[in-house]
Structures are given as C-alpha cells and as structure tokens.
Amino acid sequence: MKPRTLDVLVFAAAAALAAHALLEGGAPAEAALLAPPLPELLSATGLHEPGTTRPRPDHLAFAPQYPLWSDGAAKRRWIHLPPGTSIDASDPDAWSFPPGTRLWKEFAHGRAVETRYIERLADGTWRFATYVWDEDGREARLAPEDGAVVVRADVPGGRYVVPSRQDCLACHEGPSVPVLGFSALQLSPDRDGLAPHAEAREDAHVGLAEMAARGLVRGLPAALLDVPPRVAGRTPVERAALGYLHANCGHCHNAGGALDGIDLALAQDARDPQRSAARTLRSLLGHDSRFRPHGAAATQRIASDGGPSVLALRMRTDNPLARMPPLGVAIADDEGIALVERWIHHDLQRPSETQR
C-alpha cells in the first residue's frame, strides 16, 4: 500500500469521527459565536482589487527566510495592517498585531489551489479560514470547517488535503502569537543562503528594515536594526538546520508553549539567539525521546551524532501515524531532511563541549 493511500485511510478514519462530532455539535469557540460570519468568497476578504485576482497594492507581500515545507507547493503571502496602525514589536519574538490585521497565504501547484486566511478581530481574538480555488482560477470559496480533499491531476498524488479549522489551530495556537512566518527573525535582511526552499527576496517583499522605516513596527529594539536577527548556529549548516526546525517544528515544539512538557524546544529567538540555540541543543541531546519505534529495544535520543536519531526518523518515515510534522505534510522534504541529517552527523556536538 502506498504512503498516500495510508494517508487517506488514516485521514478518513479520523475524519469519520470528527465529522460526526460536528454534526452532533461540538464545543464551539465562544469568540467565533460573536464574530461576523466568514466571507463565503475569497474576494470578499479584501485580498484582491475588485473584479480581479491581483492583490491590492496596499497589502504587503513578504517571504520568510525559512519557509514551511508544504509538499512542494509554491506560495505567496500578504499582510494587511489597518491604516494608521502598527505592530508592537517591543518583544521581538512575540509581535502584537493590531485588530484588523489580515494575512493571506496562497498555495499553488502550477495554479492556485488554496488560499489560507487569518484575521484579528476587534476583540483581539484570531480566526482562521481557508478558501479553495475554482477550476477557472477566478474565485476561491470558503472550505468546510472540517476540511476537504481536492482531487486534481496536477497536484502531487492527485489529492490535495485542505486543513480543517481545528488543524489551523493545532499549528497557529502552539506559540504565543498565531502569526508564524511574519516575525523579526523571518523578515531579517541577514537571510540564510542555505535555507531549504528559500525564495529569493524580491523588491516587492517587505523586510524588517522597511517595516521599521515606514513605522509599521514600533518598539523594535534598536540593536536588531543595527545587527539584524540571525540564528546562532556554530556552523553555516547548523544555522540553516536550526532555522529549518524553527520554521517547520518550532510553532508546536517551543519553550513555554502548549507542548512544553515534551521538553523539545526548536523555536529560535531574535532577541537572544545564543540562548535559544543552546536550549535547542540541550533539548535534543539531553534526554531520550518518548517515541520508541516498533522493534527498538530501548528509547533513543531525539538527535545523536553517534546513533539513531528519532528526529530524522520521524521526518523521513512514510508512516502517517509517526511522521513529523503530523499535519500539512504528506511528502517528505528530502532537501530539508538532508540538511538536518548532515547537521546531526557532521556538525552536532554536545553543548557541554562547545563554548557559547
């Protein structure tokens, strides 16, 4: 049985239970009851100029230096800040966005298949939605709350899984701020040339310095403008590997977040990158993984330069019940895995052996 088939089976088994729960009425978020309904059409969210599929010129296009792997989809991203507002960046690792902030991310395989949408409401809560593009590419329509599967010949495997809104929360509610790819570290002009799948920064993409110069962020520590944020790797490969793990894993596996009890901290800080990198190494090397593969006689280190590493194993496996990340990915990221394995086997040392 092919991995893709396994995915579908597992997804269907889980969705069967979830779908019934929705029919029976699960526990709705109170904030959602107070918010106006989500637009049924993407065009009504304000992404495009009226009557076109051109993004409005007052939206800010951006490209994070460490993009999330999404089965090879090409992505475009925009943010809109209400006129006269700005982002409070005084905590450079937890930006506070003004009510009315909206973000969009388009996923394309040749042509657009899905556009995800995040909005901060007047009461400060966030809501999440996703829109599936019509065949003719003229409009995208609000996906069901429990997600959907788009069957299209031009997407990998012929099936494209649209996340449920609960799946949106699974990633975006992991850290303290639900905006994941728009941060001081991700917008830093000191971009990592080894970052897998990095997109060339275009003139149209807004960066950290421009945001500050235009007054769109306020309170950003001046030191981060003088010396732009940078992942504190001891080698270029370690820098890229830590950045990759930050973008692909750190939204769930971070210090102080929902999964703090797992003791796996993969998010990196802009304010104190040395401390966060050291914390990541301690969490990777300091104890065994709770996950034990079938057939293994004992627990294993999460990362080890001298033996099996659960980290790489779970990134590479085609078992959808064990694969990391557990959602949003059906195809292993060979480039990202190669980077992480190279780091583990050639660059990784015990932090006690390294002066930081």
Partner 1 sequence: MNRSNLKAAAFAAAAAALPCLWQAGATPALAQEPAAKPAAQAAKVERGRYIVSTSGCHDCHTPWIVGPKGPEPDMTRALSGHPESMTLPPPPKADGPWVVTAAATNTAWAGPWGISFTANLTPDPETGLGKWTERNFRETIRSGRHMGRGRPVLPPMPVQVYRNWTDADFEAVYAYLQSIPAIRNRVPEPLPPAAPVAASR
Contact residues for partner 1, defined by CB under 8 A? 1, 5-6, 9-21, 24-27, 166, 169-171, 174, 252, 258-263, 290-296, 319-322, 326-327
CB of 286 to partner 1, least distance (A): 14
Q: Which is nearer to partner 1, 92 or 325 (CB)?
A: 325
Least Cα distance to 46 among 82, 72, 92 occurs for 82
CB of 283 to partner 1, least distance (A): 13
**DSSP letter at 232?**
-
CB of 58 to partner 1, least distance (A): 34
**Cβ proximity of 331 and 72 under 8 Å:** yes
Q: Which is nearer to partner 1, 166 or 176 (CB)?
A: 166
From first CA to last CA, the distance across the chain in angstroms is 47
Question: How far is residue 96 from each of residues 31, 187, 199, 277, 307, measured CA to CA in Å?
Answer: 19, 16, 26, 24, 42
Cis peptide before 325 (omega within 30 of 0): yes
Phi and psi at 184, nearest 5°, equal -60, -45
Contacts (Cβ under 8 Å, ≥6 apart) of 29? none
Exposure of 332 in the CB half-sphere (CA atoms within 13 A):
17
CB of 161 to partner 1, least distance (A): 13
Q: Which is nearer to partner 1, 230 or 301 (CB)?
A: 301
Least Cα distance to 101 among 182, 34, 172 occurs for 182
CB of 331 to partner 1, least distance (A): 16
Place of tokens 């006129």: 83
Beta-sheet pairing, 102-109 with 111-120: antiparallel
Q: Which is nearer to partner 1, 195 or 264 (CB)?
A: 264
CB of 1 to partner 1, least distance (A): 4
Beta-sheet pairing, 87-88 with 217-218: parallel
Exposure of 297 in the CB half-sphere (CA atoms within 13 A):
0
- Burial class from Cβ neighbours inside 10 Å (0-12, 13-18, 19+) for residue 24 reads exposed
CB of 149 to partner 1, least distance (A): 9
Q: Which is nearer to partner 1, 23 or 222 (CB)?
A: 23
CB of 279 to partner 1, least distance (A): 18
Q: Which is nearer to partner 1, 121 or 322 (CB)?
A: 322
Q: Which is nearer to partner 1, 141 or 290 (CB)?
A: 290
Residues in the chain, total = 356
Q: Which is nearer to partner 1, 13 or 338 (CB)?
A: 13
